[in-house]
Amino acid sequence: MSEYNDYKKAYLRERRARDEVESLLEEKTRALYLANQTLERQLEQLKNQQAVLINNERMATLGTLSAGVAHELNNPLAYVAGNLESLNYYISPILQLLETVKLLEQNELRGDQLEARLIDIYLRQRVDEITNDLPDLVYDTLHGCERIKTIVNDLMNFSRSNNDSFSRASLKPIVEDTLRLLHGQLKGYELTVAVEDVPTIYCKEGALKQAIINLLVNAKYAVDMSHKSHKSIEVLLAPGNAQDIILSVSDNGVGIDADVLPRLFDPFFTTKPVGEGTGMGLAVTQAIVKEHKGKIDVHSQEGVGSQFTISFPLEQ
C-alpha cells in the first residue's frame, strides 16, 4: 500500500509539472504569436512609411528636374515655332498653286493665262526657295515634336512610377532613360558613360531611376562646389563577378570629409545649406538598394572626388 501511495504521489507531481509546463508553453506561444502579429504590423507600417518617403523624395526630385526639363523643352519648341512661321509664310504660294490646278481642271484657264499665272507665282513667291526649304522644315519640325514627346514621356513615366512592382528588366535602358531625364542638368559637364549589356534582374524600374538620379544630382552638386574648371562625372554599368552587377557614379568634386562618411546615409542628414537639401536623398537611395537585396559603398577623398558603387545580385 505504501508503495502505491508513493507511486501515486510521484504520478501526481509529474502530472502537475507537465500541466504547468503545458500551461507555460501555451502562455509563451500565445505571447509569441501576439508579438509576431505586432512585428508584422510594424513591418507593414515601416514599408508604408518607406514608400511614402520614396514618393516624397521623387516629388522633390521632380522639382529639381523641372528647370532642366523646361530648358530641354524650350530648345525644340524654339525651332518648331520658327519652322511653323516659315511654313505659314509658304502657305500663300502653295494655295495659289493649288487654286491654279483647280482652275485648270475646270477648264477656266487657257494656255497663255496658265503660263502667265504660273510665271507670276514663280516670280513673286520665290518658288525655288520653297522647294528647297519645305522638306527640311517639315523634317526638323517632326524631329522637334518627337524630341518633346520623348522628354514628356520620360518625365511622366518617372512621376507615375511610385507604385511600380518588381518585374524582370534590364538595367541598361533604365540607366539610359535616367541620363536622358537629366540631360539638361548635366550640360556643360564632361559626362563619361560606359553602359554595357548586363543580365536582367527583378527590380522596380521607377525606384532604381530615383536612386540613380539621387546619385547624379549629388555628383553634380559636389562638382559645382569644387569650382574646378574641369567638371567630370562618370557612370558605369557592367557585370561584376558571376553573382552580381555593378553600377557606379563617380565625380571629381569636393569629396567627403572622413568624419561625415559614417553618417552619410542617415535620414535627414545633409551637409548642404538650409533650404538646398532634404537630407533624404542618400537615405532613400540606400533603402531602394536594400529593397533590391543589393549593397551600396562609397569611396571618397577630399579635394579629389567620390565614387558610389551599387552591386545588385543576379539571384534575388
Domain boundary, last residue among 110, 133, 163: 163
**CB 26: neighbour CB atoms within 10 A?**
10
Asked if 122 and 97 count as a contact pair (C-beta separation under 8 A), the reply is no
**178 burial via Cβ count (<10 Å: 0-12, 13-18, 19+):** buried
**Better pLDDT: 308 or 278:** 308
Same structural domain for residues 9 and 68? yes
15 and 153 belong to one structural domain: yes
Read off the pLDDT of residues 140-195 as tens digits, 9 standing for 90 and up: 888 888 888 877 777 776 666 555 688 999 999 999 989 988 887 888 899 999 99
Domain count, the chain: 2
Whether the predicted pLDDT of 297 surpasses 90: yes
Q: What's the count of helices (H) and strands (E) in the chain, helices before strands? A: 6, 7
Q: Is the pTM of this model over 0.75?
A: no
Nearest to 254 by CA among 277, 281, 227, 236: 227
End residue of a domain, out of 163, 197, 228? 163
Q: Is the pLDDT of residue 119 over 80?
A: no
Q: Supply 160's cell numbers.
A: 507615375
Contact call for residues 291 and 207 (beta carbons, < 8 A): yes
Residue 117 predicted with pLDDT over 80: no
Q: Of 238, 261, 259, nearest to 311 (Cα)? A: 238
Q: What's the alpha-carbon Rg for the chain, to the nearest Å?
A: 34
More confidently predicted of 168 and 21: 168
Q: Are residues 177 and 134 in the same domain?
A: no
Which comes out higher in pLDDT, residue 268 or 142? 142
Check whether 274 has a pLDDT greater than 60.
no
Which residue segment(s) compose the domain that 270 sits in? 164-313
Give the pLDDT of residue 215. 94
Residues 6+ apart with CB under 8 A from 261: 298, 300
Shared domain check, 182 and 147: no
- CATH number at 236 reads 3.30.565.10
Exposed, middle or buried, 163 (CB in 10 Å: 0-12/13-18/19+)? exposed
Question: Bridge-partner residues for 298, per DSSP?
Answer: 308
pLDDT digits (tens, 9 = 90+) for 9-20: 676 777 787 777
Mean pLDDT of 216-222: 92
Q: Percentage of the chain surpassing pLDDT 70? A: 79
Mean pLDDT of the chain: 81
CA distance 114 to 111: 5
Query: Within this chain, do residues 172 and 134 fall inside the same structural domain, yes or no?
Result: no
Consecutive H or E run containing 246: strand 244-251
Band (50; pLDDT cuts 50, 70, 90): low
All three cell numbers of 191, joined, read 559626362
For residue 4, the model assigns a pLDDT of 62
Q: Which of 163, 180, 207 is the last residue of a domain?
A: 163
Question: Do 307 and 293 fall into the same domain?
Answer: yes
For cell 569611396, the residue is 299
